[in-house]
């Protein structure tokens, strides 16, 4: 799964995990972006999405300590992922 950040379409995040369970294969993809953490579960054979979710419901906070800088707390990403 390749995901792009909606604010910067040239910024891509790729994370693919594959698991087998009773000979059925799935892909689990995560997009840890600046606005939210998104996850998708796909059927590996058909590519059909089985589940999609994101967190938080509103955009995550970005701090700007000085002009030209943008920061986020990685602990917040982890909190939204679990």
pLDDT in tens, 21-53: 556 688 999 888 888 889 999 998 899 999 999
Burial string for 9-42 (b: 16+ CB within 10 Å, else e) reads eeeeeeeeeeeeeeeeebbbbbbbbbebbbbbeb
pLDDT above 90 for 3: no
pTM for the full predicted model:
0.59
């Amino acid at each position: 799964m390749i995901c792009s950040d909606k604010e910067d379409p040239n910024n891509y995040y790729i994370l693919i995990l594959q698991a087998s369970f009773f000979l059925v294969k799935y892909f689990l993809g995560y997009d840890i972006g600046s606005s939210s953490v998104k996850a998708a579960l796909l059927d590996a054979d058909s590519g059909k999405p089985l589940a999609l979710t994101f967190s938080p419901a509103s955009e995550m906070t970005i701090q700007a300590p000085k002009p030209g800088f943008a920061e986020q707390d990685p602990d917040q990403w982890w909190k939204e992922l679990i």
